[in-house]
């Protein structure tokens, strides 16, 4: 029998339910971060594209199924849409470096030959990096996108192919352990070499060799003494018989002793000079620091010079004069992080005091010159270090010793644009200092 009251109550409940279609789409996507993550199921999308979208949504976090209507879009448009929907990713939409990595992922082919070529390029890119974007160690959306694109190709590499891609494998292992992917990807197994030191064994060998050497020397000395005594005895007998022979023997002895002493005296200064020369060439003599240009302006009396006010973490900014007017405007230098030598002797350049030297990279014909680029995260005042060169810098470089002239010929950028001294990178806590000019001289 029809019950009007029941029907009325049923209708009230029905129409009091929230209308899902009126829910703000972005709010719904953001709220999904607390829900269990599901893999995106788009019938029209390739599996790699699905993986990229699912992984990126989990990273931000968003609900991947909210983007089902965008499944026909190209990867760049789809990733842009996902980034715009997240508060964490919105700032990356206009990042050219991120867009470059999205294009890399989109063009990545699963064809073995093409994939291996692209993986080799990625391996080269990662030689001086922990992550694909920036110079730090924190994974970004770019790492998530690239990892998702190359995963199936990396996991299928043979042992011989893996051996040629150490930087790629190191990065992939770092990302799969640092980023939460859930069950989206199978773990890439990376063989890690465990070094077992044999210090005690080595020391024993050294001891044995030293002992043998001592015994041999002792035998040699004994034999030498015996021969010497025999020789002296023979000479004594001969000299007693022949006074002229004795005189010649004494003269010969003095001549040999004099030559031996001269050789010893000559050898000692040469060794000292070599040590001193090596010390003078060490980059550790230079105090190289990260600086932040707070202000820059044209030199009042020299068209080729600019004056910069540089913060190096001291109470007062340093004033530095640089010959950059032909290559950079004051506006381009303002608020730029640079690398400079801070223990050069202060002096005036065309009547303006200069208290440092901004290090710049230059191409071979000196038509392109730019200050070295300090990595993101490096703070003003941070000391630039060089592996294996731990000496203390000079308080002030001595112009008479020409230390700077001897060291700067060894300052160059490599084929990746990394600044180096004899192949050793300029390092900071946030990574190496670089330049957009590869194989450049640095002065």
Q: Which residue has the tokens 């040629």?
A: 164
Q: What one-character DSSP code corresponds to residue 344?
A: S
194 within domain boundaries: no
* pLDDT in the model for residue 245: 58
392 within domain boundaries: yes
What CATH code is carried by the domain that includes residue 93? 1.20.1050.10
Number of structural domains, the chain?
2
317 within domain boundaries: yes
172 within domain boundaries: yes
> 173 and 322 in one domain?
no
> 436 and 293 in one domain?
yes
Q: What one-character DSSP code corresponds to residue 317?
A: P
Q: Which residue has the tokens 């010497």?
A: 228
* pLDDT in the model for residue 318: 95
Domain boundary among 146, 178, 210: 178
pLDDT digits (tens, 9 = 90+) for 190-219: 876 555 555 555 544 444 555 555 555 555
Q: Which residue has the tokens 């964490």?
A: 88
| Interatomic CA distance for residues 94 and 376, integer angstroms | 18
Cβ count near 415 (within 10 Å): 8
Sorted by sequence, the CB contacts under 8 Å of residue 297 that are 6+ apart come out as: 306, 307, 330
Distances (CA, A) of 9 to 1, 5, 20: 16, 6, 21
- H or E stretch including 297? strand 288-298
* pLDDT in the model for residue 4: 44
143 within domain boundaries: yes
pLDDT (tens digit, 0 to 9) for every residue of the chain, 443 residues total?
444 444 444 444 443 444 444 344 444 444 444 444 444 444 434 588 889 999 999 988 888 888 887 777 888 998 998 998 887 666 777 888 899 999 999 999 988 899 999 999 999 989 888 899 876 788 999 999 999 999 999 999 999 999 999 999 999 999 999 999 988 999 999 876 555 555 555 544 444 555 555 555 555 555 555 555 555 555 555 545 455 555 566 666 666 566 666 555 555 555 555 555 555 578 999 999 999 999 999 999 999 999 999 999 999 999 999 999 999 999 999 999 999 999 999 999 999 999 999 999 999 988 999 999 999 889 999 999 999 888 889 999 988 888 888 999 999 999 999 999 999 999 999 999 999 999 999 99
Q: Which two tokens stand for residue 195?
A: 């070094």
Find the domain containing 103 and state its range: 25-178
The residue among 404, 420, 401 whose CA lies nearest residue 412 is 420
Domain boundary among 127, 151, 178: 178
349 within domain boundaries: yes
The residue among 425, 295, 428, 393 whose CA lies nearest residue 442 is 425
* pLDDT in the model for residue 194: 54
Domain boundary among 123, 155, 178: 178
Q: Are 42 and 71 in contact (CB under 8 A)?
A: yes
> 289 and 427 in one domain?
yes
385 within domain boundaries: yes
* pLDDT in the model for residue 34: 40
| Interatomic CA distance for residues 26 and 206, integer angstroms | 71
Q: b or e along 282-314 (b: 16 or more beta carbons within 10 Å of the residue's beta carbon)?
A: bbbbbbbbbbbbeebeebeebeebbbbbbbbee
> 432 and 292 in one domain?
yes
The residue among 282, 382, 372 whose CA lies nearest residue 324 is 372
What CATH code is carried by the domain that includes residue 436? 2.40.50.140
406 within domain boundaries: yes
């Amino acid at each position: 029998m029809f019950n009007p009251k029941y029907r009325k109550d049923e209708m009230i409940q029905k129409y009091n339910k929230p209308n899902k279609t009126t829910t703000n789409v972005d709010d719904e996507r953001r709220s999904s971060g607390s829900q269990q993550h599901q893999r995106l199921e788009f019938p029209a999308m390739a599996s790699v594209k699905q993986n990229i979208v699912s992984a990126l949504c989990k990273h931000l976090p968003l609900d991947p199924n909210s983007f089902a209507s965008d499944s026909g879009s190209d990867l760049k448009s789809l990733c842009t849409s996902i980034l715009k929907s997240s508060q964490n990713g919105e700032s990356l939409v206009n990042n050219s470096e991120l867009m470059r990595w999205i294009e890399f992922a989109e063009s990545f082919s699963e064809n073995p030959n093409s994939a291996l070529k692209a993986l080799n390029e990625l391996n080269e890119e990662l030689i001086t990096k922990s992550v694909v974007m920036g110079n730090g160690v924190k994974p970004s959306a770019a790492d998530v996108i690239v990892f998702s694109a190359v995963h199936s190709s990396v996991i299928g590499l043979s042992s011989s192919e893996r051996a040629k891609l150490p930087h790629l494998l190191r990065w992939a292992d770092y990302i799969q352990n640092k980023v939460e992917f859930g069950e989206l990807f199978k773990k890439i197994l990376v063989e890690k070499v465990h070094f077992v030191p044999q210090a005690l064994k080595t020391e024993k060998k050294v001891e044995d060799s030293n002992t043998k050497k001592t015994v041999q020397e002792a035998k040699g000395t004994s034999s030498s003494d015996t021969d010497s005594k025999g020789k002296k005895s023979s000479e004594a007998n001969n000299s007693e018989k022949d006074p002229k022979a004795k005189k010649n023997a004494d003269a010969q002895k003095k001549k040999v002793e004099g030559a031996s002493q001269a050789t010893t005296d000559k050898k000692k200064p040469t060794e000292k000079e070599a040590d001193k020369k090596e010390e003078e060439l060490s980059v550790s003599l230079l105090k190289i620091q990260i600086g932040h240009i707070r202000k820059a302006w044209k030199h009042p009396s020299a068209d080729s010079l600019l004056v910069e006010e540089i913060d190096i973490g001291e109470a007062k900014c340093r004033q530095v004069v640089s010959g950059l007017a032909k290559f950079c405007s004051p506006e381009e230098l303002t608020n730029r992080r640079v690398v400079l030598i801070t223990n050069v002797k202060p002096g005036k350049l065309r009547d303006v005091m200069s208290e440092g030297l901004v290090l710049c990279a230059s191409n071979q014909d000196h038509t392109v010159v730019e200050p070295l680029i300090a990595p993101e995260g490096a703070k003003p005042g941070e000391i630039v270090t060089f592996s294996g060169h731990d000496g203390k810098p000079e308080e002030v470089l001595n112009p008479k010793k020409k230390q700077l002239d001897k060291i700067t010929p060894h300052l160059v950028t490599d084929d990746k644009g990394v600044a180096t001294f004899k192949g050793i990178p300029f390092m900071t806590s946030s990574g190496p200092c670089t330049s957009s000019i590869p194989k450049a001289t640095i002065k």
